Amino acid sequence: MKIAILTGAGMSVESGLATFRGGGGLWDSYPVEQVATPQGFAANPALVLEFYNKRRRELLTTEPNKGHELIAALEKEHEVVVITQNVDNLHERAGSTNVIHLHGELMKVCSSRNPDDLSCVELLPSPDTDTAIGDKAADGSQLRPYIVWFGEAVPLMDDAILALRDADMFIIIGTSLNVYPAAGLLNYVPSGIPVFLVDPNEVNVRGVRKIVTIRKGASEGMQEIVDSYL
């Protein structure tokens, strides 16, 4: 079976990572315009670099949770693609081998002149993952986080759409489905295949299509899907 899984911030909450939205989210402390836009980086690159340095330090102390592990374990019997809005590497660390990062990857840096130039994308060596003003990409420009910021195109959307069009099952975990273009991925899922939504909070998907809703956290919800539907 070909299983496509879309994960959002709720997937990593159980590992202790802060969400960006909602009460107590990172955007409460750091205005999105300052740390997650090209304009913010141009205005104060040192602030932006340190914001992501802190996120990496936090990630280095974080472990995948049972939900990540259950998703990775599906690869033993199924063809699985994970489409994630998260920039952490917890899916990979749990063992998932086919992960599409729609919003970039926290542990990587890239050219500030051309963020989509893959020849300039670098994986930061753990545990030395801090970057600073003066650190240069291969093209000579200032290194910046390999993150898709607000106002930038999402280069891997086409890959995600192709994966969904070929799926036999679609599972959505821990995302409000409010952030586009990722929220529009549901429109590309073949009609008639089972769709599951795992989230302890209510997600407004009424009128879209028939969806099995599981009002649980990522780990409990994935366990229910594995036990009852796979």
pLDDT, one tens digit per residue, over 66-117 is 999 999 999 999 999 999 999 999 999 999 999 999 999 999 999 999 999 9
Please check whether residues 164 and 112 belong to one and the same domain: no
Please check whether residues 136 and 187 belong to one and the same domain: no
Q: Is residue 103 among the annotated active site residues?
A: yes
Averaged pLDDT for residues 36-65: 94
Q: Which of 68, 91, 101, 103 is an active site residue? A: 103
- In this model, does residue 204 exceed pLDDT 70? yes
Rounded Cα distance, 48 and 42, in Å:
9
pLDDT at res. 112 = 97
CB 42 within 8 A of CB 207: no
Please check whether residues 138 and 83 belong to one and the same domain: no
- Contact partners, residue 54, CB within 8 Å, separation at least 6: none
Rounded Cα distance, 52 and 129, in Å:
10
Please check whether residues 157 and 198 belong to one and the same domain: yes
Please check whether residues 29 and 115 belong to one and the same domain: yes
- DSSP E strand stretches across 8-116: 79-84, 99-101, 104-111
Provide the edge-to-edge strand list for the sheet that holds 195-198. 99-101, 79-84, 2-7, 169-173, 195-198, 212-214
What's the number of domains the chain is made of? Answer: 2
Please check whether residues 8 and 116 belong to one and the same domain: no
Please check whether residues 170 and 225 belong to one and the same domain: yes
The secondary element (H helix, E strand) that includes residue 27 is helix 26-29
The strand pair at 143-147 and 122-123 is best described as: unpaired
Q: Which amino acid is at 39?
A: Q
Please check whether residues 161 and 197 belong to one and the same domain: yes
Q: For residue 188, give both structure tokens.
A: 């590309």
From 147, 165, 180, give the residue that closes a domain: 147
Closest C-alpha to 155, from 117, 185, 194, 211: 117
Q: Which amino acid is at 99?
A: V
- DSSP E strand stretches across 57-206: 79-84, 99-101, 104-111, 122-123, 143-147, 169-173, 195-198
* CATH at residue 95: 3.40.50.1220
- In this model, does residue 202 exceed pLDDT 90? no
Please check whether residues 68 and 135 belong to one and the same domain: no
Please check whether residues 229 and 165 belong to one and the same domain: yes
- In this model, does residue 206 exceed pLDDT 70? no
CB 78 within 8 A of CB 1: yes
From 125, 147, 169, give the residue that closes a domain: 147
Domain assignment of residue 1, given as a range: 1-16+64-103+153-230
**Residue 62 burial (CB count, 10 A):** 15
From 147, 177, 206, give the residue that closes a domain: 147
**Whole-number average pLDDT of the chain:** 91
pLDDT in tens, 103-134: 999 999 999 999 999 999 999 998 999 999 99
Please check whether residues 11 and 116 belong to one and the same domain: no
Please check whether residues 133 and 198 belong to one and the same domain: no
